[in-house]
């Protein structure tokens, strides 16, 4: 890594947004391959994710890092030549995530999606207030190894239970694990809803997926 490359990784990881944008812009102007610039950003995101797991970074840092990635992505993507392969490393496993029906909250779900994504999982986020039928349809289509049900309100306890029972009723449960989280979810709710496990933080969600998906356990 040359000094500009190292500076870009550091600027993103250290939340120096203006500097990160200027460096990315000048590297792209100087002809550095856009996919290489994006790869450096990915390396920075790994650092951000680790700091989040270690309790050094919190939600504002994840959000700002996401913004930097998006902005640099917007600069780099038009420069990518046809035929060049993007994509990065192979994904470790598939996780379907959504906020259960009746509940409109999405912050916690978005953070879990972000953390799973930067930890190498292929995440399909199907939004908020997701009806049971939509979960079933997406489980059939996406074939996830893990389903994450999110909910902030207490009404979500019943919505989670209904969603899990429906997945079970049509015989799709045996091929996947179900985790729940958000708001006031705890072990009592986990047992009530019939989930495999629960988490209080996005880091817990990553640990559960690592534990449940064999390819991820060793990654």
Partner 1 sequence: MDPRGGDSVTPTAAPAPAASRLYAERLQRVMDAVQLRQPDRVPTVFFNMFWLARYGGISYREAMYDYERLAALTRKAMLEFEPDLYHNPLLLTTVGPVMEKLGYRQLQWPGHGAAENVSYQYIDREYMKPEEYDEYLLDPTGFYLRTYLPRVGEAFEGIESLPLFPGLYYMRLVVASSAFASPGVVRSFTALKEAGEEALRLAQHAAALNEELAGLGFPLANGATAPAPFDFFADYFRGSKGIMLDLYRRPDKLLAAMERAAVFLLRQTVAACKASTSRIVFIPLHWAFDGFMSLDQFKTFFWPSLRKLMLDLIANDLIPMPLWEGNCTSRLETIADIPPGRAIYWFERTDLTRAKEVLGEVVCLRGNVPASLLTTGTPEEIDEYCCKLIRAAGKGGGLILDCGIGIPDESKLENVRAMYQSVRRYSP
Stretch near partner 1 under the rule CB under 8 A, chosen from 25-33, 36-44, 92-100, 146-154: 146-154
CB 151 within 8 A of CB 120: no
CB of 50 to partner 1, least distance (A): 15
CB of 170 to partner 1, least distance (A): 24
Q: Is the dihedral of CA 9, 61, 177, 147 positive or negative?
A: negative
Angle at 184 between CA 183 and CA 190, to 5 degrees: 110
| Of 201, 206, 94, residue with least CA distance to 147 | 94
Compare residues 142 and 192 and give the one whose CB is closer to partner 1. 192
Q: Which of 1, 63, 169, 170 binds partner 1 (CB under 8 A)?
A: 63
CB 109 within 8 A of CB 183: no
CB of 60 to partner 1, least distance (A): 4
Q: Which of 107, 169, 170, 217 binds partner 1 (CB under 8 A)?
A: 107
Interface with partner 1 includes 153 (CB under 8 A)?
yes
Q: Is the dihedral of CA 126, 128, 132, 134 positive or negative?
A: negative
Q: How many CA atoms lie within 13 A of 54 on its CB side?
A: 7
Stretch near partner 1 under the rule CB under 8 A, chosen from 21-29, 42-50, 87-95, 189-197: 189-197
Stretch near partner 1 under the rule CB under 8 A, chosen from 32-40, 52-60, 119-127, 133-141: 52-60
Q: Which of 53, 71, 102, 207 binds partner 1 (CB under 8 A)?
A: 102
Interface with partner 1 includes 54 (CB under 8 A)?
no
CB of 188 to partner 1, least distance (A): 4
Mention every residue, 6+ apart, whose C-beta is less than 8 A from residue 52: 58, 61, 62, 115, 202, 203
Interface with partner 1 includes 121 (CB under 8 A)?
no
- Chain residues binding partner 1 by CB under 8 A are 15, 17, 56-60, 63-64, 67, 102-107, 152-155, 157-158, 184-189, 191-192, 200-201
């Amino acid at each position: 890594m040359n000094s500009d490359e190292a500076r870009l990784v550091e600027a993103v990881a250290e939340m120096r947004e203006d500097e990160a944008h200027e460096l990315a812009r000048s590297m792209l102007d100087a002809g550095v391959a856009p996919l290489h610039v994006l790869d450096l950003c990915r390396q920075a995101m790994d650092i951000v994710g680790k700091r989040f797991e270690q309790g050094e970074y919190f939600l504002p840092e994840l959000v700002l890092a996401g913004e930097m990635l998006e902005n640099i992505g917007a600069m780099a993507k038009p420069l990518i030549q046809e035929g060049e392969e993007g994509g990065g490393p192979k994904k470790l496993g598939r996780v379907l995530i959504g906020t259960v029906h009746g509940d409109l909250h999405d912050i916690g779900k978005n953070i879990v999606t972000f953390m799973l994504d930067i930890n190498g999982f292929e995440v399909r986020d199907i939004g908020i207030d997701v009806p049971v039928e939509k979960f079933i349809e997406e489980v059939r289509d996406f074939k996830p190894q893990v389903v994450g049900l999110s909910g902030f309100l207490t009404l979500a306890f019943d919505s989670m239970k209904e969603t899990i029972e429906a997945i079970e009723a049509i015989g799709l449960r045996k091929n996947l694990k179900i985790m729940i989280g958000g708001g006031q979810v705890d072990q009592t709710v986990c047992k009530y809803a019939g989930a495999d496990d629960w988490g209080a933080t996005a880091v817990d969600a990553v640990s559960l997926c690592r534990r449940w998906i064999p390819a991820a356990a060793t990654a």
